[in-house]
Amino acid sequence: MHKKIVFFDIDGTILNETNKIPSSTKQAIKQLQDNGVYVAIATGRAPFMFEHIRKELNIHSFVSFNGQYVVFEEEEVYTNPINSDELADLYQATLKHKFPIVFMNHQQMKATVPDHPFIDKSLKSLDFSYPDVDPAFYKQESIYQALLFCDEKEEKLFAKDHKALHFLRWHEYSCDIIPQGGSKAVGVKKLIEASGLNIEDTYAFGDGLNDMEMIKEIGTGVAMGNAIQELKTVADYTTDHVEKDGIAKGLKQLRLI
């Protein structure tokens, strides 16, 4: 049998609504690994934001920052930082519009302003505290993703002036910013290339807007029962809700466990 790999989104897929991993998911992933299947994470989060999940599930491969930083079996195989000139333009625009922003590399994140309620509420939804403040952080590090804090209407107006950047909303008060053309699908392809696997032996589970390209491009795409309708439309299968053993049921349907 050919070696296989399964990619899992985190929020709404591995994690339930209270940011916990259902016991059925833990058991299913362990069984998947025992069956000799590679298990990887594909997320919009930064690596330091899910290190505890990787350790708990014994996962050593991941696509992070919506495809901009990719690791296969603990080896960095692809990076796609935001262009430094674009970052400078972005920061100046946020100052003009008075939008707070958080810059992220693979190890840490820094906010441009202190004590902003949008930053506080957005990051608390991921169980993360307010980051340290360093407006010049983007000048010193490779930045793979930025978080812009504004409502959806303001984001659309802002995005019109920054065509080289791609905006992905993940919270009422925040959206991810990555290089235009970047996506989980690109990151997943880079990881698959590094693994030497065939596309027909690849699978992915997701629930959100930033999973669309990945679910379309992967060998077999699975939407969670709690996924947005648009994702269910393009997926090969729809499994049950994350709270109702969705991952375990989906893997059994695919005969991977």
Active-site amino acid positions: 9
d(CA 79, CA 81): 6
Nearest residue to 227 via CA among 212, 213, 248, 249? 212
d(CA 216, CA 204): 10
Measured in degrees and rounded to the nearest 5, phi and psi for residue 240 equal -85, 175
d(CA 125, CA 188): 26
**Enclosing H/E stretch for 175:** strand 174-179
What DSSP letter does each residue of 67-109 carry, written as one string?
GTEEEETTEEEEE-PPPHHHHHHHHHHHHHHT--EEEE-SS-E
